Chain A
Amino acid sequence: KQEVTQIPAALSVPEGENLVLNCSFTDSAIYNLQWFRQDPGKGLTSLLLIQSSQREQTSGRLNASLDKSSGRSTLYIAASQPGDSATYLCAGGYSGGGADGLTFGKGTHLIIQP
């Protein structure tokens, strides 16, 4: 059974810092990995999707990497802002080319202190 783990469960940093969120997965036969943001009481907003053939993806201040051999993905947030405060979830697609649904980690709750 595939498992996705996110450590730490919670993180608090001052505004302006660069930070890294970690995601590990147990099965290297992963087709893709997707990072989401979830605000309190809200749905999931897709941030970045990395295919297994890719090493990283970038969008604005966000950069996500994927290392299948080590079973790790990281989400790098540059110059953090209070508006970045949210729960960040990573999820792996393991079947059907990644199209058969996702296995989620439990998320990292991020607080950016003004």
Chain B
Amino acid sequence: DAGVIQSPRHEVTEMGQEVTLRCKPISGHNSLFWYRQTMMRGLELLIYFNNNVPIDDSGMPEDRFSAKMPNASFSTLKIQPSEPRDSAVYFCASSFRTGVHYGYTFGSGTRLTVV
């Protein structure tokens, strides 16, 4: 299994531009999560999906952020327009939701720099 795959690994963009981060979860996992990591705030949950349906987006900081999961093998996190304070590492994680939870697998992250 290739694990959770995120792309790109690094993204540098100018303020005001649209940024799209991508994630491919582990095959067979039915829950997908987007987290953001900063030095100040640590890791924060932005949004998660269960069976491709958004369940809780209360962590999404602003309307500039949006996430989609069109199918079980792909999700995107979009920031439009981007701002310098969006600079962070964005992680995607997936898990298999069943009676007993067996933990989460994280991708390698996308380091976003907005200049």
Q: Is A81 an interface residue (CB 8 A)?
A: no
Give the interface SS of chain B, mostly helix, strand, loop or mixed.
strand
For B44, the chain A residues whose CB sits under 8 A away are: 104
Q: Is B103 an interface residue (CB 8 A)?
A: yes
Given A99-B31, A99-B97, also A107-B42 (CB < 8 A): yes
Give the interface residue-count category, chain B. 20 to 34
> In the complex, what residue of chain B is closest to A47 when comparing beta carbons?
B103
Asked if residues B109 and A43 are in contact (CB atoms below 8 Å), the reply is: yes
Q: Is A32 an interface residue (CB 8 A)?
A: yes
Q: Is B85 an interface residue (CB 8 A)?
A: no
Contact with A along B88-99 (1 / 0, CB 8 A): 000101010101
Asked if residues B102 and A49 are in contact (CB atoms below 8 Å), the reply is: yes
For B56, the chain A residues whose CB sits under 8 A away are: 100-101
Residue pairs across A and B with Cβ atoms less than 8 A apart, 24 shown, are A31-B101, A41-B111, A42-B109, A43-B107, A43-B108, A45-B106, A46-B103, A46-B106, A49-B102, A49-B103, A89-B43, A97-B100, A97-B101, A99-B97, A100-B48, A100-B55, A100-B56, A101-B45, A101-B56, A102-B104, A104-B42, A104-B43, A106-B42, A107-B42
